[in-house]
Amino acid sequence: MNVLPFSTANYRIAICDDNQTFAKMLADYIEAEYKSLDLLIEFFTSGEELIEYYQAGKKAFNVILLDIEMKQINGLEAAAQIRKLGSQTVIIFITSHDELASMGYEVSAFRFLTKPVKSKKLIEALEAVRAQMNESRAIHVSNAEGEYTINVNDILFLEAQNQQVNIKTKNDKFIMRGKLSDYVEELEKCDFVLAHRSYLVNMKYVKGINRQEIMIEDGAILPISRLRYKDVKQSFHDYISKTSI
C-alpha cells in the first residue's frame, strides 16, 4: 500500500521574517497545535536567504509563511523568484498593510494574514493548506481483481476481517489482503482514528460517538473499544473544533 503524494510526516514549514521575535511567536503557535506531527520549522531572516535555499535545490517546504515588508528583497519579490524556479510551494503572506495583499495574487498566494497575527487565524490557514493537500492524497492498492487508486477523502472506514482489509468508500468496497496496521500510520495523519483493533475510521464522516459506538454518515455503527474511547473522543472533539465555523 502506498499513500500519494503528500505525507504530513515531516510537515515542513518555512518562516521568513526579519523580526526574529515575531517569527518565534509564529513557531510557538504552530508547535502548540501540531504536537502529534513530525514537524520541521526552519527560519529565514531575509528574502535573499529564502531564495538562496530554493536556488540550491534543497527539499521544498509544504508551506512558507512570508513577511511582505522586509528590507532589500521584500516578500513579494522573493515569492516571484521562487515561482520562477518552478516551485509550487504554498505561500501564506504576512503583512501589516492590507492594501498590499492584492499584489500577492500575481504569485499565487494561498492566503494573507494581517499583523498582529492571532493564533486562531494562523492555524485556520494551515488547516486549509492541509485540507487542500489531503484532497489530492490517495492510496494505491491491488488485489486479485486489479489495481486501484482510492482518494483518501472518499474512504469512510477500513475494517480488518481475518487476513484481509475491507476499504469502505462512499460508493464502493474494496477487499484487500493484508493487515489494518499496514494503513494506520499514514492514514492517522489524514484525520483517521483507530476506534477498535478492527476499525480505522475517517473522522470526516463521523456523525457522533458514545462509549461503545461510533456512528458513520452512511448509517454504519461501529464499535469503540474501551481502551480506545478516550483517544476517539479527543479526535472527535479536535476535528469538530478545527472544521466548525
Is residue 216 within 8 A of residue 207, CB to CB? The reply is: yes
CATH placement of domain 139-243: 2.40.50.1020
Fold exhibited by the domain 2-135: Rossmann fold (3.40.50)
Q: What are 43's three cell numbers? A: 527560519
**For residue 7, what pLDDT is reported?**
40
Q: How many degrees, rounded to 5, is the angle at CA 64 between CA 135 and CA 27?
A: 105
In the chain, which residues fall in CATH 2.40.50.1020? Answer: 139-243
**For residue 107, what pLDDT is reported?**
67
**For residue 117, what pLDDT is reported?**
93
In the chain, which residues fall in CATH 3.40.50.2300? Answer: 2-135
- d(C-alpha 174, C-alpha 139), whole Å: 12
CB atoms within 10 A of CB 3: 18
Tell which residue, 133, 127, 177, 180, has the closest CA to residue 152: 133
Is residue 83 within 8 A of residue 110, CB to CB? The reply is: no
**For residue 102, what pLDDT is reported?**
53
N- to C-terminal Cα separation, the chain: 35
Q: How many degrees, rounded to 5, is the angle at CA 11 between CA 235 and CA 48?
A: 145
> One digit per residue, pLDDT tens: the chain, 245 residues?
433 333 444 578 999 999 999 999 999 999 998 876 678 899 999 999 999 999 998 888 889 999 998 888 989 899 999 989 888 888 999 988 665 555 555 566 778 888 889 999 999 888 888 777 766 678 878 777 888 888 888 899 999 998 899 999 988 899 988 899 988 888 887 889 999 999 999 998 999 999 999 999 899 999 999 999 999 999 888 888 766 54
